[in-house]
């Protein structure tokens, strides 16, 4: 059922022409995910510019019992921000709430609105001599609201934790349109349940995050990065352990790439090249950073890698000798998603296992995928230091995308069986969204699913916030 015309008129009156989109041409990009897997419909896209306007939008929608789909940069990997196909839901975009409200170098905090992109937030921190150590491949588009709503992880989780570890305070519009101002910036604040943490990772199903206070760090004075070729996944673990012993406080990234994954980048992304003398079966990108000037991170890393070479843990290594080279190394890692998109249809498995189980995961999940779809291109990569692998499967060369995607469910199930047997998670850092609610019951006990459901019902009794995401839809 479409939202009533009177509601649309009320929104128009509230937000004015700059605050909404109604032309199907303009609303279409907000109703499709970037992977092109989901194609929803929305009669209107709300674009409030202030928290007060978000409050009014939610009040109007709640009174008319029309569901809202909060949306940030729309970079979800799991269809988390796409409205339903039947046009019954309305997209509420947070992108115009894009102010940095305050930054405090003494307190090491920044207070910013939901629509500030992660990249803009990083840049703002850097301009103040500070550091927001939260980094994901989509940071130029993803915004703070979405990053927090999905508890994004990314490249520096190993050292600094997931998005939730950055959050000191939140401002949230609740399902009935009331406003919770929890924008506190205290390191210690034991006053009952940690409400802010309920909203982090709730994927827009419990409330709409409009602003946040995040913890910052002093800017790094030094960085050192290396790109290494590895003989095996076991060697990757040995190297990780070595680097942690070497300097755990400075090790901010340990990213894994398979030979197949890197090959796709080198094939599909312009101006990329292997920085090593010869190819290897596995690769890692390592980064160290710290705020102490003159810490000698580069020479230290070089010595640790020389010892690793001696022990056969690595085959070859390249140390970044300039900022341009460090950026080039990171491009090889960060362009994996884009390269895989250009290579055809893919089935994404954002999974995690205990770190020691990574070699088993890679071997067994690859065997399971090959058994189901001979010729499938297995191109895992990701945040090895966190036990989080993007176990992505790309359609066999020359196969039709449709027939490959028709195998998506059995492929994900086969990978999930391996993950389950290794005590892992089917949803590591991308969230559950619309893709994964059916997997919940396989991985979580009825008691745990019931706890999730009871929290949802307590905060959104009418089921008006992002229906069908995170939890399976219950039709009234
Ligand atoms: C990354 O680590 C992102 O680059 C994207 O989480 C992963 O494309 C993917 O599956
Ligand atoms: Zn990732």
Extents of the domains making up the chain = 5-96, 100-218, 222-333, 344-428
pLDDT of 68 reads 98
State pLDDT tens for residues 177-187: 999 999 999 99
Running DSSP on this structure, what letter comes out for residue 388?
A: E
CA of 390 to the centre of ligand 2 (A): 7
Work out the number of other CB atoms within 10 angstroms of the CB of residue 372.
15
CA of 321 to the centre of ligand 2 (A): 26
CA of 21 to the centre of ligand 2 (A): 32
In order, the DSSP letters of 10-39 are HHHHHH-GGGEE-SHHHHGGGGB-TTS--B
Q: Sheet holding 251-258: strands in order across?
A: 316-319, 222-230, 282-290, 251-258, 381-383, 388-390, 350-352
Return all residues near 36 (Cβ < 8 A) that are at least 6 apart: none
CA of 428 to the centre of ligand 2 (A): 9
CA of 152 to the centre of ligand 2 (A): 8
**Which residue has tokens 């459901």?**
453
Domain at 5-96, CATH class: alpha beta
Among 461, 462, 467, smallest CA distance to 437 is for 467
Return all residues near 35 (Cβ < 8 A) that are at least 6 apart: 77, 341
**Of all atoms in ligand 1, which is nearest to the CA of residue 154?**
2
Specify the residue with its C-alpha closest to ligand 1, atom 10: 390
- Do residues 110 and 129 touch, judged by C-beta distance below 8 A? no
Q: How many helices (H) and strands (E) does the chain have?
A: 17, 21
**222-333: CATH number:** 3.30.70.2190
* Band of residue 475 on the pLDDT scale cut at 50, 70, 90: low
CA of 337 to the centre of ligand 1 (A): 6
State the average pLDDT over residues 315-344. 98
Specify the residue with its C-alpha closest to ligand 1, atom 1: 137
Give strand ranges (E) for 36-154.
Answer: 45-46, 68-71, 90-93, 100-104, 109-113, 130-131
**Of all atoms in ligand 1, which is nearest to the CA of residue 153?**
6
- Do residues 213 and 185 touch, judged by C-beta distance below 8 A? yes
Q: Is the pLDDT of residue 81 over 80?
A: yes
**Of all atoms in ligand 1, which is nearest to the CA of residue 337?**
8
State pLDDT tens for residues 222-237: 999 999 999 999 999 9
Provide the token pair at 125.
Answer: 């921190």
Give strand ranges (E) for 175-291.
Answer: 179-182, 207-215, 217-218, 222-230, 251-258, 282-290
- Do residues 226 and 306 touch, judged by C-beta distance below 8 A? no
Q: Is the pLDDT of residue 372 over 60?
A: yes
Provide the token pair at 12.
Answer: 């128009």
What CA–CA distance (Å, rounded) separates 359 from 367? Answer: 13
Specify the residue with its C-alpha closest to ligand 1, atom 9: 337
pLDDT of 473 reads 82
Pick the CATH number of 344-428 from 2.30.40.10, 3.30.70.2740, 3.90.1170.50, 3.40.640.10: 3.30.70.2740
- Considering the domain delimited by 100-218, tell me its CATH architecture: 2-Layer Sandwich (3.30)
CA of 450 to the centre of ligand 2 (A): 29
**Of all atoms in ligand 1, which is nearest to the CA of residue 390?**
10
Which ligand is in closest contact with the Cα of 157? 2
% pLDDT > 70, the chain: 99
Is the sign of the CA dihedral 200, 202, 207, 211 positive or negative? positive
Q: Pocket around ligand 1: residues whose beta carbon is below 6 Å from it?
A: 77, 137, 336-337, 348, 382, 390, 392
Which ligand is in closest contact with the Cα of 339? 1
Shared fold status for 222-333 and 344-428: yes
CA of 334 to the centre of ligand 2 (A): 9
State pLDDT tens for residues 148-175: 999 999 999 999 999 999 999 999 999 9
Burial 226-243, CB ≥16 within 10 A → b, else e:
bbbbbebbebbbbbbebb
Q: Is the pLDDT of residue 476 over 50?
A: no
Output the average pLDDT for the chain.
Answer: 97
**Which residue has tokens 């979580």?**
444
3 state SS of 397: coil
pLDDT of 10 reads 98
What CA–CA distance (Å, rounded) separates 412 from 392? Answer: 10
3 state SS of 214: strand
State pLDDT tens for residues 102-153: 999 999 999 999 999 999 999 999 999 999 999 999 999 999 999 999 999 9
Residue from 33, 339, 340, 350 to probe ligand 1 pocket by mutation (most atoms less than 8 Å from CB): 350
What is the number of residues in the chain? 476
pLDDT of 17 reads 94
Running DSSP on this structure, what letter comes out for residue 221?
A: S
Residue from 381, 388, 426 to probe ligand 1 pocket by mutation (most atoms less than 8 Å from CB): 381
Specify the residue with its C-alpha closest to ligand 1, atom 5: 337
**Of all atoms in ligand 1, which is nearest to the CA of residue 392?**
10
CA of 230 to the centre of ligand 1 (A): 21
């Amino acid at each position: 059922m479409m939202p009533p015309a009177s509601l649309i008129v009320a929104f128009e009156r509230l937000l004015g022409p700059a605050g909404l989109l109604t032309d199907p041409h303009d609303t279409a990009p907000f109703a499709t995910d970037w992977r092109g897997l989901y194609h929803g419909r929305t009669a209107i896209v709300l674009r409030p510019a202030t928290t007060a306007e978000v409050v009014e939008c939610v009040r109007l929608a709640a009174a008319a019992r029309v569901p809202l789909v909060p949306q940030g940069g729309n970079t979800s990997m799991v269809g988390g921000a796409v409205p339903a196909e039947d046009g019954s839901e309305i997209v509420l975009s947070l992108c115009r709430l894009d102010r940095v409200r305050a930054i405090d170098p003494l307190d090491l905090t920044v207070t910013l609105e939901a629509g500030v992109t992660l990249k803009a937030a990083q840049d703002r921190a850097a301009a103040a001599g500070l550091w927001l150590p939260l980094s994901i491949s989509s940071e130029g588009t993803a915004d703070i609201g979405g990053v927090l709503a999905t508890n994004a992880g990314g490249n520096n989780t190993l050292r600094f934790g997931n998005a939730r570890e950055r959050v000191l305070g939140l401002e949230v519009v609740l399902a009935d349109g009331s406003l919770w101002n929890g924008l506190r910036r205290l390191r210690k604040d034991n006053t009952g349940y940690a409400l802010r943490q309920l909203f982090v990772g709730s994927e827009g199903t419990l409330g709409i995050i409009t602003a946040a206070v995040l913890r910052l760090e002093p800017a790094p004075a030094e960085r050192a990065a290396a790109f290494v070729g590895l003989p095996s996944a076991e060697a990757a673990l040995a190297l990780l352990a070595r680097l942690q012993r070497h300097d755990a406080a400075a090790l901010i990234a340990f990213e894994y790439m398979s030979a197949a994954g890197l090959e796709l980048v080198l094939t599909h992304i312009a101006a990329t090249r292997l920085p090593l003398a010869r190819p290897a079966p596995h690769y890692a990108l390592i980064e160290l950073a710290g705020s102490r000037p003159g810490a000698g991170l580069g020479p230290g890393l070089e010595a640790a890698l020389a010892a690793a070479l001696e022990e056969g843990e690595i085959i070859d290594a390249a140390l970044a000798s300039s900022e341009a080279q460090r950026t080039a190394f990171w491009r090889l890692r960060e362009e994996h998603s884009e390269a895989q998109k250009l290579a055809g249809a893919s089935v994404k498995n954002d999974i995690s296992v205990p770190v020691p189980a990574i070699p088993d995961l890679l071997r067994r999940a690859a065997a399971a995928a090959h058994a189901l779809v001979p010729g499938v291109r297995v191109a895992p990569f990701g945040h090895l230091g966190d036990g989080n692998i993007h176990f992505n499967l790309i359609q066999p060369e020359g196969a039709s995308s449709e027939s490959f995607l028709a195998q998506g469910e059995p492929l994900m199930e086969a990978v999930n069986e391996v993950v389950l047997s290794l005590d892992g998670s089917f949803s590591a850092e991308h969230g559950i969204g619309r893709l994964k609610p059916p997997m919940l019951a396989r991985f979580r006990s009825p008691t745990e699913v019931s706890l999730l459901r009871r929290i949802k019902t307590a905060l959104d009794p009418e089921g008006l916030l992002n229906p069908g995401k995170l939890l399976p839809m219950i039709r009234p």
